[in-house]
Structure 1
């Protein structure tokens, strides 16, 4: 929790006690002040009440943090596994179309929630679109390359190879923002590189095309993170409220991605494939596709909820730990052929990711 949240919680606790505390008569007050008579039983009851309220407050906080963390882990793991299922098990060869449909689902849901007043979003202005467009181009490239790589590479190896993004981001922070990292961070990054290389060498289902797309994805993901930091301040200045919350960014990214995604559908000639595939007449296929769209949006909501209930350090560490069950599930669910060496490389990479998150905390 943030300091502001803790202060608000303490304030609520104080108000509760002011309202619930027994009103002392003047005579009782004088007796207490003069130390002539002290009600030990009353003091015990008050202390017990204080203890119960504090315990209830802590349980509530812990329950919220646990629930939000589980929701975030479930949605993020499910999203990747469902995408893998659509692209591999259904053998769907239109990853860009899948991305466009998922983003369309997100736009519809966020727009409805905004219209009902459940969430607040910034109105889209031409000036805001101009400022945000470079970020969105990278965002679309990041999603598209992720779809392409996931079709050819198993989930566990995708998870390990994504660690390369951290290396590129750290180098970018050093050169663009003059940010220096300590030896623990660089050690973790070195271990990530070793695990990625050893994992690729020992990967029994190695696919050169998939690995190429994943490397491109790592560069685009790092570029998105670094560019977002530069554009964020400018984007806030051109909004009407002077702020740009997460819901507004989700809506902005997904709306702007639709025309660019449709253009890429024609560039990669997915229209011809979509007109011939029998998958589009299967209700179950559309159900799974729609589920993936809901999960994509759920990641945004649950990550904000979890970050709000805990903090950046816990969020980062849980995100790294979350890759371990995701990798195991990916191997078991899709019956990925693996060896002892490859499994060891994957585990080594996942541990390096956890070590990196802990190093960044310091």
Structure 2
């Protein structure tokens, strides 16, 4: 399901998740990994890194484009993205490009609670993105990392190092600066400051709910994944397939399907471009899952972690370039601090992973490409 759809940070997710079918994208152990063939197009590390960054930016920008203006059919948007995702991976499976297990009602029952958590995550994420600018949304998404990390401490025996704690402090600081810059700009530049600030406050509330939903989804999926042993595309398939009927019910029960509202959501002048953006954002969830696994396969988990941290900057900048996000000293400072916090967090996790395994957080063990893609959703 297109994350936020579906959907992603450091400890993040992605509607897709954990290991590809029989044709896995496992990153072999360092000792067993053979060096990339010279001149091999598929093993060139630059290509997967750029592909991963590009797909992350594309998803965020396309979602923001659709959600801008008067669009209010969020459940319908998510339903379209899920349908596109299921059709795409089914075509890829039929073509022999990927594999995943066939549908099983027993496995669907076990996984359905996770799908509900995912729907809550992507819906609240879409609402937050509707009210907030891309840079602010990206910065606040970092707070989810803190919730997940302490959830790991409480329920999985995890640990938080001093350097990790320092990165958390930077994340909180960047969020405070971003909120202050947003409110300051709204008060100084708008004739209707009260309405503008009210809109921002609604965005912050949705963002808070999204952080709670996202951390619940990630922690809940970590437990459930052990029961099903799902691989990357297994998870993507079940998440999107199971979400479609739920989203259809919610869109018709909760959202306004009057002709007036439909015309407002899909104005004739922009109708084609809106539909194109909705479909492209659905495809992006597939691209992110594949390119994240590809990135780890031809580089390393360490490189992937750094790419994820560095990817924050172009995503935030895309909001300044493609939309009317305010470019002020406080807003730029918030982006920089948020970017640095991501780098510090990545370095902290790399150092923690390098320590002896005894007593270390389970997720600190060497991870496969598929496990890395599990942490992706928040990156967008």
Q: TM-score, normalised by structure 2?
A: 0.76
CA distance in 2 between partners of 1:267 and 1:320 (Å): 39
Q: Which residue of 2 aligns with 1:279?
A: 266
Whether 2:332 is the aligned partner of 1:343: answer: yes
1:224-245 residue CA offsets vs partner (Å, 9 max, x unmatched)? 1111110111012xxxxxxx22
1:225 to 1:154, Cα distance in 2 relative to 1, 3 A: same
Q: Which residue of 2 aligns with 1:105?
A: 84
Whether 2:207 is the aligned partner of 1:214: answer: yes
Whether 2:103 is the aligned partner of 1:124: answer: yes
* Pairwise CA RMSD: 2.2
1:124 to 1:200, Cα distance in 2 relative to 1, 3 A: same
1:170-207 residue CA offsets vs partner (Å, 9 max, x unmatched)? 11010001111210001111111121122212213551
Q: Is contact 1:149-1:211 (8 Å) kept?
A: yes
Pick which of 186-195 and 114-123 moved more. Answer: 114-123
1:200 to 1:3, Cα distance in 2 relative to 1, 3 A: same
Q: Which residue of 2 aligns with 1:28?
A: none
- Which has the greater radius of gyration? 1
1:158 to 1:137, Cα distance in 2 relative to 1, 3 A: same
Q: Which residue of 1 aligns with 2:285?
A: 296
Q: Is contact 1:100-1:262 (8 Å) kept?
A: yes
Kindly report which structure 2 residues correspond to 1:43-62, keeping only aligned pairs within 5 A, or say none.
57-60=37-40
Q: Which residue of 2 aligns with 1:195?
A: 174
Kindly report which structure 2 residues correspond to 1:147-226, keeping only aligned pairs within 5 A, or say none.
147-203=126-182, 204-205=185-186, 207-226=200-219
Q: Which residue of 2 aligns with 1:326?
A: 315
CA distance in 2 between partners of 1:225 and 1:278 (Å): 32
Q: Which residue of 2 aligns with 1:268?
A: 254
Q: Which residue of 1 aligns with 2:220?
A: 227
1:20-42 residue CA offsets vs partner (Å, 9 max, x unmatched)? xxxxxxxxxxxxxxxxxxxxxxx
Structure 2 spans left out of the alignment, 5+ residues: 1-25, 187-196, 352-380
1:69-96 residue CA offsets vs partner (Å, 9 max, x unmatched)? 11000000111011111111x5322122
1:146 Cα offset (Å): 1.0
Q: Which residue of 2 aligns with 1:67?
A: 47
Q: Which residue of 1 aligns with 2:19?
A: none
1:311 to 1:222, Cα distance in 2 relative to 1, 3 A: farther
Which is helix-richer, 1 or 2? Answer: 1
Q: Which residue of 2 aligns with 1:35?
A: none
Q: Which residue of 1 aligns with 2:240?
A: 254
CA distance in 1 between partners of 2:202 and 2:289 (Å): 29
